Structure 1
Amino acid sequence: MSSTFEDLIPVVNKLQDLVFNTIGSDTIDLPQVIVVGSQSCGKSSVLENLVGKDFLPRGTGIVTRRPLILQLINIPYTRSPSPPIPTPFDSEVGAAANTSRATAVRQEEWAEFLHVPGRKYYDFTEVRREIENDTVRIAGNNKGINKTPINLKIFSPHVLNLTLVDLPGLTKIPIGDQPTDIEKQTRGLIAEYIMKPNSIILAVSPANVDLVNSESLKLARQVDPQGRRTIGVLTKLDLMDHGTNAIDILSGRVYPLKLGFIGVVNRSQQDIQVNKSLQESLQAEQDFFRSHPAYRNISYRCGTQYLAKSLNNTLMTHIREKLPDIKARLNTLMGQTQQELASYGEPQVTGSGHNGVLILQLMTKFATSFIASIDGTSSEVSLKELCGGARIYYIYSDVFGTQLSQIDPTANLSVLDIRTAIRNSTGPRPSLFVPELAFDLLVKPQIRLLDPPSQRCVELVYEELMKICHTCGGHELSRYPRLQSKIIEVVSDLLRERLGPTSKYVESLIAIQRAYINTKHPNFLGAAAAMSSILAGRQEKEKKARDAQRKLERLEVKKAVLNGENADGSSEQGSTHSQQSQSQPPPPVRQHQHSNRQSDDLTREFEQMSMSNSTQAAKSSNSSISGSGFSATNNGLLGTMGSINGEEGGVLSEREQLETELIRRLISSYFSIVRETIQDQVPKAVMHLLVNYSKESIQNRLVSELYKEVMFDELLQEDSAIAQERQKCEKMLRTYTEAARIINEVV
């Protein structure tokens, strides 16, 4: 094996340290061995056997509550005249160490934590205590788990280079003060690690439990269904029932895995209580496999030493296979980070001579974006709602137009109101014609109904311009919150200044229409045309009433005839019956029943028509004449003029009824003319006085208000959040660049 190949694991460890020191998480997806197993499966004992030290916390419930990233780093022996201390791993740490055993002693072994830089732990009891303390510091005291890992390095000449991640043990039932969803938390954390394609899964299962119930193998199969990156570890082989063994599992005949199963024997609880050393336990493990009748033939590929060697070789092979993917991943991350960094722009230097140019550029960009949003030429177009110029057009055409069309110009004028106005306009003398003064008095207040929707149109356009103001400028301007705030403030002041004159001008448009009533307008209906329409409608109504009356009379005649026939038929039938009662049965009475049904049908038809005409007449006599329509309902009022009570207890005369309807028709006609004019003039006024004025003035207003040298440094103070994000991106980019350099050193 080449030296370059042997250096792969240290290179990955170096990358791991670099990534966690700067970024805090493994964004590169580095190859590592993930240790998975249920509680009490012997997972901690396997790790301690690999290290050769007691350093992991022990106890009931979940002891491992944070991921433990464990880097085992092999260091060489140091020469000394003292005799060496033998260990079970001495045969596995390399030929050079073996040949120099006579003049070498075991170098000091120590541990280092990433969160305690610069300190070496020579006492592994302190290592266990620090793991417990840091777990409580991050995950709390309530037995809950936390995703933040603990990074631990162990330097020893008796370990092989390995990177292991110890995860919390799987549990199903919360015990004590464990969270109720502890199983869900644990499975989610484990899945987050083992689902990474560059990870190797070390699935630990106890041999004295049926393999089909192994939770670790179930989880591994979910992310590695082909078993290509899963290593099975069988613990507690010495605790199996007498006469049983796990040879079929270790041979791969029960649960096939590409990397196979490895059997180990850990220290028992009694061994731990009597402080049996790990060296003695490792020797006892070797003796167990060599002497067991079922395992003696495969003892060379069982035990902790073989597991360590297999993991070392597997991890190095895996790293070599994944190096191209890691390099590609790094290049992708570098490109993405570089792009994100560019989006934050260069940091602004206070007092720079380019500050004035930058402020001018940002103001120009804001003004251009504001105008483009109104004109519809902006590149940032919303796909979810109307905005900018499209929204303004919608206000003019739909909102404003609909509100105007819904106004009924005479809805608030009753018949009595119109009659009173007519009487008041004639004074003590009766008028020969419909008084024009009454029309003027009534139509002017109705024109004022156009004012509220017109003012609302102005307000809606103003609100849309304010909305455009708050969405312009883009990401670059958001870097400088003070400048952005000042720009919005200046433009808002400009819009508020224009709101008053625009509103007053629109108000004056309504006042102008009320100031002079042009009865000579070519579209105005006029008194003559209105009177002709009323009379024509009245004649049509009377004609319909006469036709209905004649139909009723014909029905009455027909009904009387049918009733007479029925009476005669009954007499004849009675006489015939008396004469023939002695000789034959009575004749059938079908004709008589048919005549009765026909008479009943006619009676019902007559009654329905009478009720219909009566109801229609009642409705016509009691209803007020409604606004702008020329319907038969308005005309029907003229046929029932005698039933409307006057203001002083009298009824409206025929002439008053005619005059009232005439005034109503004239108001509706003239109001339609004014409405059409206002619907045309108000949008034009708003565009000229508010929208276009703002577009033309925004650039000059921004420059005159903000382009002042004494304000440059204040306006260009960068947002602290953006500055932090830029620093984070710069840090990540340096990390990825350094990681790429480290990987490129490996041939």
Structure 2
Amino acid sequence: MNDLIPLVNKLQDVFNTIGSDQIDLPQIVVVGSQSSGKSSVLETIVQKDFLPRGNGIVTRRPLVLQLVNTHIGTLPTSETVGTDVPDRAEFLHLPHKQFFDFDDVRREIEAETARVAGQKKAISRTPIHLKIYSKNVLNLTLVDLPGVTKPTDIEKQTRNLILDYITKPNSVILAVSPANVDLANSDSLKLARQVDPEAKRTIGVLTKLDLMDAGTNSLDILTGRAYPLKLGFIGVVNRSQADIVANKPMADAFQSETDFFQGHPAYRAISHRCGTHFLSKTLNSILMSHIRDKLPDIKAKINSQIGQTQQELSSYGDPTFTGQAHRATIILQLLTKFATEFVAAIDGKSADISTKELCGGARIYYIFNNVFGTTLESINPCENLSAQDIGFAIRNSKGPRSSLFVPEIAFELLVKPQIKLLESPSLRCVELVYEELVKICHSCGGKELARFPRFHTKLIEVVSDLLRERLGPTSDYVESLISIQRSYINTNHPDFFGGGNSMLALEKEAQRKKKDASRSNRLHAVNTILGGGSNGEAHVLDDSSSEKTLVNSMGNLNIQHGSDRSQDRVREKSHPSSGNGHLNGPHSAPGSTHNGSAGNGTFFSDFFGAVPQSGHVTKPTPQENNHAHVNAYGTSKEMVMPKTVLDGEPLDYERRLGFLTQSKDYSQVNDRDDIEVQLIQSLIASYFSITRKSIQDLVPKAVMHLLVNFSREAVQNRLVATLYKEDLFGDLLQEDDNLCAERAKCKAMLDVFKNAFTIINEAM
């Protein structure tokens, strides 16, 4: 039993050499609020003044304190064996220095705290390891933590630090509380209750019992009736501030404490279970029992850590390479592995297939069918080609002649630039596949090649050069596919919607539009007549009216109109002097006239325009003929023509040409021009669709053949031919410095675990 605490101290020393806390070793963690007497309790246990003192936060780093009884423990040097060795202290950060003056120990703690945590009131998690050898102490391992304080700037940091230590199940919590404060407000007991709700590994310490008000005592607490703990409460009386200033000896302080408990009426009966001596013995006994209970679990945990560390160390590979043949074997194995992973990633047979996103060959498929295909489908066959552009192309291709048919040269002139639109997305498809292959190349290698960064870089360079070499021929071939399509416009293609079919379709469409327009005019005429009924209501026909109603209405109107004309001839004979077209006789219908006046015309004058009477038409003069144009309905429209040489003005050819070219009338197309433009548009769309389908099929095939398949088949041969050279082996197998450091750290960790396992086996 006496060897258990030194055993844990040895384990702690072993693990401290690598700064590892992976193994939760049994230890006593001291928790208390600021000014609760926590530091005084530790100094009384050690029987030395060695802790920093002062106002505010003094303890700002955890202090791991190992107490070694020199009668039980092994002396540190052979020169001191058999001699009365004085009490001394050693710091882990100063392994070759011993402190015999404990005032120097205090100053070193202050300096080391300031070095890591700074001069201000900052908190650091890095512990200070201190070992004290003395014949007056019992073997203990204590951890002194910063006191719980109320300032909001560091309160959270302090609580988190304390919880990190007391949460470990192998830690025994030493909760220090002042007796002159209500126990319900004890910060140490509150924190202990959070991590140890059943109070199985918490021991309470009551300080300042001598400062309680007269007539009060803590007997109920010390006996476990007020606040039950499995390990109980122990009362202590520390030196007062005046005793510390007067440097009262520890022996006198112990005697004063004993006299207090034995002479106090309330504590006299339990005085044998109070005081610092009893606290030290209790902590020693609790810690040894705790170690005995946890030692099998610690041994199993260390054994498990040995296995995991060995596996991690093996993943870094063997750092020694025996002979040139061994290096050649490693080079060839890594070359083959890299090439195999590259091909497997393209074929979708990789062992590390992602389930979160597309990768490898699946992304190439996505480029072909989604990115490239969608881009081609989104291209407008007549993009950047207006109807006016097509009209000018048709007219320019006719030259000074007119033609009975649309010139084929205009179609070829217009369709070739449209086929050129397919070139840019096709070349972009090649680039996207190339970029994807480069990404696949960078993802190959794994952890085995990570230890040789130069080798890995060379592998990527060789494969990237191979891909870059294939990018040029593939792009040139794809570009030639577009040039081939533009070099010969095959109008005999079986899927091409030829000119004859286009003309038939356009002719049917034109006839349909003409029929609709004629029907609309007739309906408008009927609506006009029916709108003049006797009751003043309008009878309007729409497209849904029957043809029979329209015919009957037109027939009735013709009969009525014939009767009106016969009456007109009779009136003309009776009134030959009425040459102005007005009927002023008593037989004239009121309001009826034939001069086209608004609101007084007949059906034909309203529908077809004014109809001049025979013998009363005024012929226009020759000058009026030059400036007037009579339309189909008899209405005249003034037309302004530019003056020519015949008018006595010089002819400015450039100005006249600009007038004609920029004229609005010149840019407008007639019915024939409109049909020709529509015909060319339909032919361009038909031929462009044929070419687009061909390009959409040929480009992926060309990329797969010239770039993807060629690269996957040639990658291993290229790697071997470029890198499998003896003069390169030494440089290629140069290991990464960080990996070497990680391997050394892992090896040191393995040695520590093995050493700890040996120590436990020897002790058990």
TM-score range, shorter chain: 0.7 to 0.9
- For residues 556 and 230 of structure 1, the distance between their equivalents in structure 2, rounded to whole angstroms, comes to 109
- For residues 216 and 550 of structure 1, the distance between their equivalents in structure 2, rounded to whole angstroms, comes to 104
- For residues 716 and 206 of structure 1, the distance between their equivalents in structure 2, rounded to whole angstroms, comes to 65
* Correspondence 1:733 to 2:729: no
The one-letter code of the counterpart of 2:729 is F
Aligned match for 1:38, one of 25, 33, 39: 33
Point out the more displaced range, 518-527 or 427-436: 427-436
Map 1:383-462; keep pairs closer than 5 Å. Answer: 383-462=355-434
- For residues 447 and 503 of structure 1, the distance between their equivalents in structure 2, rounded to whole angstroms, comes to 17
- For residues 450 and 287 of structure 1, the distance between their equivalents in structure 2, rounded to whole angstroms, comes to 104
Aligned match for 1:304, one of 271, 276, 282: 276
Query: Equivalent residue for 1:615?
Result: none
- For residues 528 and 662 of structure 2, the distance between their equivalents in structure 1, rounded to whole angstroms, comes to 35
Secondary structure in 1 matching 2:66: strand
- For residues 195 and 548 of structure 1, the distance between their equivalents in structure 2, rounded to whole angstroms, comes to 93
* Correspondence 1:74 to 2:74: no
Map 1:565-584; keep pairs closer than 5 Å. Answer: none
* Correspondence 1:535 to 2:531: no
Give the conservation status (yes or no) of the 8 Å contact 2:175–2:189.
yes
Map 1:688-703; keep pairs closer than 5 Å. Answer: 688-703=705-720
Offset from partner CA, 1:537-568 (integer Å, 9 cap, x none): 223334444555666667667766696369xx
Query: Equivalent residue for 2:622?
Result: none
Secondary structure in 1 matching 2:129: strand
Q: Offset of 1:119 from its aligned partner?
A: 2.5
Query: Equivalent residue for 2:643?
Result: none
Map 1:658-677; keep pairs closer than 5 Å. Answer: 658-677=675-694
The one-letter code of the counterpart of 2:718 is R
Secondary structure in 2 matching 1:491: helix
Give the conservation status (yes or no) of the 8 Å contact 2:66–2:142.
yes
Q: Offset of 1:450 from its aligned partner?
A: 0.2
Q: Offset of 1:331 from its aligned partner?
A: 2.0
Offset from partner CA, 1:610-634 (integer Å, 9 cap, x none): xxxxxxxxxxxxxxxxxxxxxxxxx
Aligned match for 1:717, one of 734, 743, 753: 734
Tell me: CA distance 1:244–1:445, structure 2 relative to 1, closer, same or farther (3 Å). same
Map 1:242-391; keep pairs closer than 5 Å. Answer: 242-349=214-321, 352-391=324-363
Offset from partner CA, 1:277-316 (integer Å, 9 cap, x none): 1111111001100000111111111110111111011111
Secondary structure in 1 matching 2:492: coil
Give the conservation status (yes or no) of the 8 Å contact 2:192–2:202.
yes
Q: Offset of 1:330 from its aligned partner?
A: 1.1
Offset from partner CA, 1:242-300 (integer Å, 9 cap, x none): 11111111111222111111110000101111111111111100110000011111111
Aligned match for 1:678, one of 675, 690, 695: 695
Query: Equivalent residue for 2:609?
Result: none
- For residues 243 and 315 of structure 1, the distance between their equivalents in structure 2, rounded to whole angstroms, comes to 36
Tell me: CA distance 1:445–1:77, structure 2 relative to 1, closer, same or farther (3 Å). closer
Tell me: CA distance 1:708–1:243, structure 2 relative to 1, closer, same or farther (3 Å). same
Tell me: CA distance 1:556–1:185, structure 2 relative to 1, closer, same or farther (3 Å). farther
Q: Offset of 1:24 from its aligned partner?
A: 0.7
* Correspondence 1:656 to 2:673: yes
Secondary structure in 1 matching 2:728: helix
Offset from partner CA, 1:80-110 (integer Å, 9 cap, x none): xxxxxxxxxxxxxxxxxxxxxxxx9975221
- For residues 376 and 563 of structure 1, the distance between their equivalents in structure 2, rounded to whole angstroms, comes to 85
Map 1:143-222; keep pairs closer than 5 Å. Answer: 143-173=121-151, 181-222=153-194
- For residues 320 and 517 of structure 2, the distance between their equivalents in structure 1, rounded to whole angstroms, comes to 89
Secondary structure in 1 matching 2:227: coil
TM-score with structure 1 length normalisation?
A: 0.82
Secondary structure in 1 matching 2:99: coil
Query: Equivalent residue for 1:108?
Result: 86
Give the conservation status (yes or no) of the 8 Å contact 1:351–1:713.
no
Map 1:586-601; keep pairs closer than 5 Å. Answer: none
Q: Offset of 1:391 from its aligned partner?
A: 0.3
Offset from partner CA, 1:30-65 (integer Å, 9 cap, x none): 000000111111001000110111111111112111
Map 1:466-477; keep pairs closer than 5 Å. Answer: 466-477=438-449
Secondary structure in 2 matching 1:353: helix
- For residues 58 and 73 of structure 1, the distance between their equivalents in structure 2, rounded to whole angstroms, comes to 24
- For residues 464 and 388 of structure 1, the distance between their equivalents in structure 2, rounded to whole angstroms, comes to 7
Q: Offset of 1:350 from its aligned partner?
A: 8.0
The one-letter code of the counterpart of 1:449 is L
- For residues 648 and 258 of structure 1, the distance between their equivalents in structure 2, rounded to whole angstroms, comes to 109
Give the conservation status (yes or no) of the 8 Å contact 1:645–1:652.
no
- For residues 319 and 552 of structure 1, the distance between their equivalents in structure 2, rounded to whole angstroms, comes to 111
The one-letter code of the counterpart of 1:371 is V
Give the conservation status (yes or no) of the 8 Å contact 2:531–2:537.
no
- For residues 677 and 320 of structure 1, the distance between their equivalents in structure 2, rounded to whole angstroms, comes to 82
- For residues 518 and 233 of structure 2, the distance between their equivalents in structure 1, rounded to whole angstroms, comes to 109
Aligned match for 2:51, one of 45, 56, 60: 56
The one-letter code of the counterpart of 1:392 is I
Query: Equivalent residue for 1:500?
Result: 472
The one-letter code of the counterpart of 1:659 is E
Q: Offset of 1:411 from its aligned partner?
A: 2.4
Q: Offset of 1:647 from its aligned partner?
A: 7.0
- For residues 702 and 437 of structure 1, the distance between their equivalents in structure 2, rounded to whole angstroms, comes to 54
- For residues 381 and 357 of structure 1, the distance between their equivalents in structure 2, rounded to whole angstroms, comes to 28
Secondary structure in 2 matching 1:118: strand
The one-letter code of the counterpart of 1:129 is R
Point out the more displaced range, 303-312 or 415-424: 415-424
CA RMSD of aligned residues (A): 2.1
The one-letter code of the counterpart of 2:143 is V
The one-letter code of the counterpart of 2:499 is A
Query: Equivalent residue for 2:610?
Result: none
Aligned match for 1:128, one of 73, 95, 106: 106
Give the conservation status (yes or no) of the 8 Å contact 2:383–2:418.
no
Query: Equivalent residue for 1:632?
Result: none
- For residues 282 and 376 of structure 1, the distance between their equivalents in structure 2, rounded to whole angstroms, comes to 79
Point out the more displaced range, 205-214 or 332-341: 332-341
Unpaired runs of 5+ residues, structure 2, are 74-81, 539-660
- For residues 531 and 345 of structure 1, the distance between their equivalents in structure 2, rounded to whole angstroms, comes to 78
Secondary structure in 1 matching 2:97: coil
- For residues 139 and 390 of structure 2, the distance between their equivalents in structure 1, rounded to whole angstroms, comes to 105
Offset from partner CA, 1:491-544 (integer Å, 9 cap, x none): 111111111111010000000000111101000000011111112222333444
Offset from partner CA, 1:111-156 (integer Å, 9 cap, x none): 1112211322221111112211221222221221211111111111
The one-letter code of the counterpart of 2:492 is K
Offset from partner CA, 1:440-493 (integer Å, 9 cap, x none): 111111100000000100010011011111111111111101111111111111
Aligned match for 1:10, one of 6, 9, 14: 6
- For residues 393 and 136 of structure 1, the distance between their equivalents in structure 2, rounded to whole angstroms, comes to 62
Provide the identity percentage: 64
Tell me: CA distance 1:543–1:348, structure 2 relative to 1, closer, same or farther (3 Å). farther
Computing the radius of gyration from Cα coordinates, the structure with the larger value is: 2
- For residues 694 and 59 of structure 1, the distance between their equivalents in structure 2, rounded to whole angstroms, comes to 75
